[in-house]
Each structure stands twice: as C-alpha cells, then as structure tokens.
Amino acid sequence: MTVWFPTNNSGPESSNNLPPSSAFWLSPMASAISHFVVGAGLALPALRSASIRQTLPAWAIPLISGILAAAPDLDTFLMSALDIPYNSVLGHRGLLHSALFLVIVNSLLALAAAHGASPAAARLGALWSCCALSHPLMDMLTDGGLGVMLWYPFSEHRLFFGWRPIHVSPLGVRRFFAHAAYILKSEAPFDLAAWTIGQAGWLVSGLRTSSGSRAPGQ
Ligand SMILES: [Zn+2]
C-alpha cells in the first residue's frame, strides 16, 4: 500500500502500533499480496457469469482481478522513476488511488477485453472497478503513510478511516520477513473476509443459475 518514506511517531505519517525497535520504511510489498488476494477473492462470483466466461478463461478471472486490485501501487514506481513528491497528485495514494480514475481505467480495460460495448464489457467493468476500489479502501485502513486522495479530482484531501488496524510493512525482503507475522496477521481478516464474500457470491449465483435452468421444465 505504501512506499519509500520513513515514518515517525508524530504527524500524519505516524505509525502508532509498530514494534518500538522498528525504524520502519513503508513499502508496497506485503500490502501488494493482500491487495491481490482481496481482488481475486471478490472476483469469484464472476466465474458464474456466462458472458464473462465467454470473454476470459476461468483461471484468468481471479488472476486479472487480483492484479488490477494491486495495480494502483504502480504509482510508487512512477514516483521513483520521475522523482515525483509523495504528497503531490501524481505521488503515492494520489491520482492512481482516486475512485473516479479507477472506475474509468477499469471500464476502458473491460471494453478492450470484451472488444467493445456488450453485456460482458459492462459486467467486467463493474467487476474490475469493484476489485480496484478495494485497494484505496484498504489503504485507508493502514496505520502509516499519507492518506488516500479517494475523491480526486473533486477533492485533494487525503483520507483515512477512523479505524486503522492494518500495519505497514518495511522495505526489503529481509525486513519484511523479520516482521511478516506481525504484518500478515493484521491483513489476514480482510483477506479472509474478501474470500468469504466471494465464495458466498459464487454459491448464491450458482443456486440462481441452477434454479433458472430448471424453471422451464417444472
Ligand atoms: Zn496503495
């Protein structure tokens, strides 16, 4: 969910619940895993959609949805490559985390994947937009970094939820694994919730499909 900036324990970037020995830098690493898991889980009901299945193979539906849910953190690479300040519109958790931007981009991707306007494009656009929107909402639950420009361009305020139970992760693989249990434990309830919701949707849509297919003969 976040990047290359050190936190301190004062001001908006404070990370209140980190272990006291941690000189924490924020990185996208563990959060990218959770963003992917949440996006893939939320996509499970789409496996029942005939129009989406005509557009994509089953394996690609959770895979692409997970990737699109993690994709907003590509802004970290943009910042690094172009030396963009974190707190600017093009910085981390700025434009690429805006709800309107994510809906537009994912709708366009769906149009391209479905080769034009169609029920599949509409359903795929809705699915990918929902999965992508899970990203800024999860970022708003983290205890470090700057807030999210969720309503850009209508507002440049950076937002957090009042409840921020997800811990940020340190930069680098070794540092991450040194705190992996601490980080992943804070993210696990949200991963589990997304897969529970996705599986429930998958089951319900299966029941609707089977009752619909039986109806004409009854
Ligand atoms: Zn993010």
Each residue's pLDDT tens digit, 19-55 = 333 333 444 554 788 999 999 999 999 999 999 999 9
Number of domains in the chain: 1
pLDDT tens digits for range 131-142: 999 999 999 999
Q: Residue 17: phi, psi to the nearest 5?
A: -110, 15
Instruction: Classify residue 160: in a domain, yes or no.
Output: yes
Instruction: Classify residue 15: in a domain, yes or no.
Output: no
Instruction: Classify residue 9: in a domain, yes or no.
Output: no
Instruction: Classify residue 171: in a domain, yes or no.
Output: no
Q: How many angstroms is it from 93 CA to the middle of ligand 1?
A: 6
Instruction: Give me the domain span that covers residue 157.
Output: 32-166
Instruction: Classify residue 183: in a domain, yes or no.
Output: no
Q: How many angstroms is it from 72 CA to the middle of ligand 1?
A: 6
Distances (CA, A) of 71 to 14, 33, 39, 60, 64: 25, 11, 11, 16, 10
The per-residue pLDDT of the chain, averaged, comes to 83
Q: How many angstroms is it from 157 CA to the middle of ligand 1?
A: 16
Q: What percent of the chain has pLDDT over 70?
A: 80
Instruction: Classify residue 130: in a domain, yes or no.
Output: yes
Q: How many angstroms is it from 138 CA to the middle of ligand 1?
A: 8
Q: How many angstroms is it from 24 CA to the middle of ligand 1?
A: 17
Q: How many angstroms is it from 202 CA to the middle of ligand 1?
A: 27
Distances (CA, A) of 95 to 10, 38, 75, 178, 207: 26, 21, 9, 32, 40
pLDDT tens digits for range 172-200: 567 667 777 888 899 999 999 999 999 99
Instruction: Classify residue 25: in a domain, yes or no.
Output: no
Instruction: Classify residue 139: in a domain, yes or no.
Output: yes
